[in-house]
Amino acid sequence: MAANVNETNDVTLTKPIRCIVKLGGAAITCKNELEKINEKNLEIVSSQLRQTMISSENVVSLDWSKRPGTSDISCNVDSFGDQLSFDANKFIVVHGAGSFGHFQASKSGVHKGGMDQPLVKAGFVATRISVTTLNLEIVRALARVWSFSFSSLLGRFSFLLCQPYNSSLSLEVDHSALTYHFVFLAEGIPSIGMSPFSCGWSTSGRNIASADLPAVAKAIESGFIPVLHGDAVFDDIQGCTILSGDVIIRHLAEHLKPEYVVFLTDVFGVYDRPPSEPDAVLLKEIAVSEDGRWSVIKPTLQDINKQVEITVAAHDTTGGMVTKISEAAMIAKLGIDVYIVKAATSHSLRALSGEVRSNVPDDWLGTVIRRTSR
C-alpha cells in the first residue's frame, strides 16, 4: 500500500522510539456531543502518558498561556534547573477526531474527494479548522501541569502546584448533599503539534503518497513529543481525502519501528460482537500471520465468530473499528505488538508503561495483537 512513498523517508534515530500511542477519538471526546472534549479522560490520559514518558521529579508546566479568567501567565522560570529529563522515553502521540471534524467531513464528502466542488472545498477548510482545534487542545493538555482543584456545591477553589509532585490522584466523594471533587495531577510533556496536512502528508488513491518523516524524527531527536492527528489532506488522484489517525500510525510504525503501539479507546478492547451486547466476549489475544490473516488465540471459545462484528458510527468517515483492526494487524505483522485498551483505566497505564509486554497478566483487560510466533 505504501509502495510509492519516497525512499528518503527512511530515517535513523539515535535511540529507538518506545511507543506510538493512539488517543482514540471516542476516548478523548464526547462522541455524541458536537466538538466536546472528554476533559476528565483527557486529564487522566495526559497524566498516565506523563508517568510513562518522564521520570523527572521536577514538574513544571510547558503551557504558559493565559488561563480563562486570569490576566497573567503562570510560569516560574526559576523552577527550571538542569534536572528536567524530557527525552527519557521517546513517544509519538496520534489522535483521532471523535466529535471534531467527522461532522464537517461527512457532511461535505471530503473523504470521497472532488475538490472542484465548492462544498467539498469548503468542507476541507471546515474539517481542518475543527481537527486542528482539537489538536491544539490536546497539545495544551499534555504540556500543562494540572492545578489542584477542589470543588463542591459551596464553590470551586483552585491553585497551581508549586511543589514538585510526581503522582496523580482523582477522586470524587459524594457526601450527603455536598459533592467534593479533587483533581491532583501533574504533567509537563514537551508536546509539539504536527498537523499532517502541514507536515507534507498526502495520499494517492487514499494510500499514503508522501509524509515528512524526517521532520517527525527531528522533533523526537530534539526531545519533543510529536502530536499528529487524523486530517484532511490532498490526494493525487481524487483531489482530497481524510487520512485517518490509524493509517498514520501504521505508516509511522512501519518506518520508525517503535517497540510497541497502544490504541487507547472507549471499550476494553476488541470483542466478538458489539460490546453493548450482553454476551460480547473480549478477545484478549489475536495472532496475525505473515499473509496478514488474523485469528483469535485467547479465549479459545468455539462459538466465536471468525469474522468479528463491529459497529461503525454513521458519522465516522474513516471506518471506525474495521480500519483499526486491519491497521493494527498490519502493524503486528511487522513484529510490533499492538495493545488495544480502554483509556484512563489501570489497564491503559499498564499497557503504556510496557508492563504487560513480556507476559499478559490474567487480570489485565485489553486486546493484544501479535505476529504469529514461528
Binding pattern for the stretch 274-313 against a copy of itself, x by CB under 8 A and - elsewhere? ----------------------------------------
Stretch that binds a copy of itself, among 121-129, 271-279, 353-361, 363-371 (CB under 8 A): 121-129
Judged by CB under 8 A, the residue of 50, 59, 93, 103 near a copy of itself is 103
Stretch that binds a copy of itself, among 167-175, 221-229, 287-295, 312-320 (CB under 8 A): 221-229
Looking at the DSSP assignment, which residues form a beta bridge with residue 173? 180
Binding status of residue 246 toward a copy of itself by CB under 8 A: no
**How much of the chain is helix, strand and coil, in % rounded to 5?**
30, 25, 45
Based on its alpha-carbon atoms, the radius of gyration of the chain, rounded to whole angstroms, reads 21
The residues near 173 (Cβ < 8 Å, ≥ 6 apart) are: 179, 180, 181, 182
CA–CA gap between residue 14 and residue 191 (Å, rounded): 20
The least distance separating a copy of itself from the CB of residue 277, rounded to whole angstroms, comes to: 30
Residue 25 has what DSSP assignment?
Answer: H
Helix (H) or strand (E) holding 151: strand 148-152
Judged by CB under 8 A, the residue of 39, 107, 151, 298 near a copy of itself is 107
CA–CA gap between residue 75 and residue 333 (Å, rounded): 45
CA–CA gap between residue 332 and residue 373 (Å, rounded): 11
Judged by CB under 8 A, the residue of 113, 193, 245, 320 near a copy of itself is 193
Judged by CB under 8 A, the residue of 125, 178, 237, 301 near a copy of itself is 125
Kindly report the backbone phi and psi dihedral angles of residue 116, in degrees, each rounded to the nearest multiple of 5, phi listed first: -75, -15
Peptide bond into 16 cis (omega under 30): no
Interior angle at CA 214, CA 213 and CA 216, nearest 5: 65
Binding status of residue 83 toward a copy of itself by CB under 8 A: yes
User: Could you tell me how many residues of this chain bind a copy of itself (CB under 8 A)?
Assistant: 61
Binding status of residue 224 toward a copy of itself by CB under 8 A: yes
Looking at the DSSP assignment, which residues form a beta bridge with residue 271? 282
Binding status of residue 9 toward a copy of itself by CB under 8 A: no
**Is the CB of 229 or the CB of 250 nearer to a copy of itself?**
229
Residues 129-158 that bind a copy of itself (CB under 8 A): 129-130, 132-133, 136, 139-140, 143
Angle between helices 39-53 and 118-143 (to 10 degrees): 60
Binding status of residue 112 toward a copy of itself by CB under 8 A: no
Binding status of residue 179 toward a copy of itself by CB under 8 A: no
3-state secondary structure of 295: strand
Contacting positions for a copy of itself (CB under 8 A): 33-35, 60, 62-66, 71-73, 75, 77, 80-84, 86, 103-104, 107-108, 115, 117-119, 121-126, 128-130, 132-133, 136, 139-140, 143, 190-195, 197-200, 212, 215, 218, 222-224, 234, 239
